[in-house]
Amino acid sequence: MEKRSLKSLTVGDKIKIIEEVKKGVKRKKDIASEFGIPASTLSTILKDKDKILKAVEEAPCLPRRKRFKASSFPEIEHAMTEWIKRVRDYNLPISGPLIQEKAAEFAKNLGLTFQASSGWLEKFKLRNGIVEKIISGESAAVSEVDCEHYRTNILPSLLKEYDSKDIFNADEFGLFFKCTPDRTLTFKGDTCHGGKKSKERVTVMVGANMTGTEKLKLLVIGKSKQPRCFKKKNVQSLPVTYAYNKKAWMLSTIYESWIFDLDKRFFNDKRKVLLFVDNCPAHPKTLLHELKAIRVVFLPPNMTSKLQPMDQGIIKNIKHHYRKSIMQRNLRKMDSGIEIDDINLLESIELLHKSWGAVTQSTIVNCFHKAGFKNEIEEVEPVEEETPIEWDRYQQLFPETNTVEFQHFVEVDSSVITTYYPTDNEILNDLKFQEMPNESSGEESVIEDDGELALPKTTLAQALDSLQVVRKYIQEQQEIGDEIFSALNVIENFTDRSNIKKQSKISDFFKK
C-alpha cells in the first residue's frame, strides 16, 4: 500500500479553504481533494476557523506561515511590540541588534533568564510581521507584499458581511490650529510633545463610511475644559464633540466614551456596523465585547499608511480646506483694515466643521478604494487639490512666505503625536501587574501584590492604563454585577478630571 504523503498548508491556504466552504458551492469532500488533504484535516481547519481568522487580522504576515507558534517569553514579546510601536510612530530607525539589546534589557528588568539570539530575533520578526524596511528605518517602511495579502485574503472576508454604507473608518490627526503660512518653517516636522507649541495644537478624530454618504461628527480634543474663547458657551452646542486633557491627546477614556456613544446611536437605528481603526494604545481592545452594534477591526501595525482610508487623502483634504480658510480669513481682515490676530479655538472648531463639510463624497470613496475597499460605485472622478488662487496674492502681501509652498503649509503638522505612548518603565510596570498565561499548564498564574512595592509617583496616564487592566480582569470573571462596572466608570471619570479639579476624598464620588 502506497504511503500517503502529508501536505503542510500555509495559513493563507487555510483561509482559502474556509472561504470555499463558506460559499457553499462545492462539497467539503471535493474541497479537501482540491487542496490535497484528508477530510479530517478540513474538519480541524473549520473547527479552528475563528482562531485562524482572528490571528490573521492581527498579523498580516501569517498567510505565508504554516504554524501559529506563540513565544516562550510572552512578557518580553508584549514589551517589545509596545516598544517598537512607540519607536516607529516617532519615525525613529530600528536595527536588529537594537531590538536584541532592548529585549535583553527588558528580560533583565523582569528577572527572566533569556538570550536575545539571532534565532530569536528572526522568529520575533516573523511572528510580528516586522519587515526589513522597518528594521533599516527606510521611509517607505511598509511591505507591499503584506499589504496585498491583507487586501486580497483578509479584507474581502471582513467586508462581505456588511453593506457598504455600514463600513466605517476613523482616525486621529494633529492640528496646529493657529499656524499661519509665515510660521510654517517654524512648526514643520515638530512632533509636539510639549512646550509652547503644544498650546497651539488639538487632536481631531474623523470618520466616515465607505460610500461617503455618512460623515461622523468630528471629535476635537483640546487642553482646557472651558477655554476663554468659549466664554459661557455650552459645549453641547458646538458643531463638534469636544473633549480635553492637559496634552490634548487621544486617551483611552476619551476613545471609550466616543465609541460607546457611537455604538448607542447605531444600536438605536438597528444597524450592524464594521469600524476600522488603527492599533494605537488609546484604542483598547478590552471593551470590544461590550459593543452592541459595532464590530471593531484593528488595522495591522505598520501598514496604516497604506491600508487606512483616512490616510489616503481624507485627512489631507480636511487640512487643505482648513489652511485655505485661515489664509482667506487673514486676507479679509487685511482688506478691511483690521489687525490680523491669532485664531482662537472656537473659531478653529467652526473652521474644522466647515472644512469637513467641504470634503466631497467622491474624495471619500476614492480614498477607501485606494486603501483596497471595493465599492459599488465603479467610476469616480478624481479630486485634485490645487493651490488656492489666493495664494499668489497672499505671498505678495506677506513676502516672508515666498519660500513656502502651499502644500508644505497644509502638511505642517503631519508629524504631530496624537496619542499617549507608554515609557519603558510603564510598559514594565504594566507587565508586572498583568496576569500572564502560564505556557506549561495552559492556565493563568496569579501575581500577588503585597502592597509594599515602592513605585514612582503615579501619573494620570498610568492610572488610566491600570484601570483598563482592572477592567479587563473583571470582564474575564463570571457573574459580575453592573454595579462593579459602574464603580469603575466613576473612578475613571474621577482620574480624568483630577488634573482640572482636585478632590479631597475619592469616597465623595461614591456618595449619592
DSSP secondary structure string for all residues of 68-125: ----S-HHHHHHHHHHHHHHHHTT----HHHHHHHHHHHHHHHT------HHHHHHHH
For the domain that residue 51 is a member of, what is the CATH number?
1.10.10
pLDDT at position 287 is 76
> In angstroms, rounded to a whole number, what is the distance separating the alpha carbons of residues 236 and 145?
46
Same domain, 213 and 247: yes
Same domain, 318 and 360: yes
Domain total of the chain = 3
Return the CA Rg of the chain: 25
SS3 content of the chain, % helix, strand, coil (to 5): 50, 10, 40
Same domain, 48 and 105: no
Same domain, 15 and 117: no
Q: What is each CA distance from 13 to 5, 26, 45, 185, in whole angstroms?
A: 17, 16, 10, 51
Q: Answer yes or no: is 149 within a domain.
A: no
- Quote the longest CA-to-CA distance of the chain: 98
| C-alpha cell, 126 | 516573523
Higher-pLDDT residue of 18 and 359 is 359
**Of 70-84, 219-233, 327-341, 492-506, which range is least confident?**
492-506
**Of 24-38, 77-91, 100-114, which range is least confident?**
77-91
pLDDT at position 366 is 93
pLDDT at position 510 is 46
> In angstroms, rounded to a whole number, what is the distance separating the alpha carbons of residues 282 and 97?
29
Same domain, 30 and 89: no
End residue of a domain, out of 356, 382, 411: 411
Mean pLDDT of 96-112: 85
Closest CA to 302 of 56, 54, 86: 86
Residue 173: left (phi > 0), alpha (psi -120 to 50), or beta?
beta
Global confidence as pTM: 0.63
Q: Answer yes or no: is 67 within a domain.
A: no
Q: What is the pLDDT of residues 390-440, one digit of tens each?
A: 888 888 888 888 888 888 888 888 777 788 666 667 666 665 544 433 333
Same domain, 223 and 254: yes
Same domain, 227 and 294: yes
| C-alpha cell, 184 | 510654517
For the domain that residue 105 is a member of, what is the CATH number?
1.10.10.60
> Is 425:455 a contact under the CB 8 Å cutoff?
no
Helix (H, G, I), strand (E, B) or coil at 169: strand
| C-alpha cell, 209 | 463610511
Q: What is the pLDDT of residues 238-256, one digit of tens each?
A: 999 999 998 899 998 999 9
Same domain, 397 and 357: yes
**Consecutive H or E run containing 172:** strand 167-176
Can you give the residue range of the structural domain that contains 289? 160-182+197-411
Q: What is the pLDDT of residues 433-461, one digit of tens each?
A: 444 333 333 333 333 333 333 334 567 77
- pLDDT over 90 at 354, yes or no: yes
Q: Answer yes or no: is 217 within a domain.
A: yes
Same domain, 272 and 347: yes
| C-alpha cell, 89 | 510612530
Q: What is the pLDDT of residues 113-146, one digit of tens each?
A: 988 898 888 888 877 766 544 444 433 446 678 8
Q: Answer yes or no: is 424 within a domain.
A: no
pLDDT at position 88 is 65
Closest CA to 252 of 43, 461, 14: 461
pLDDT at position 430 is 60
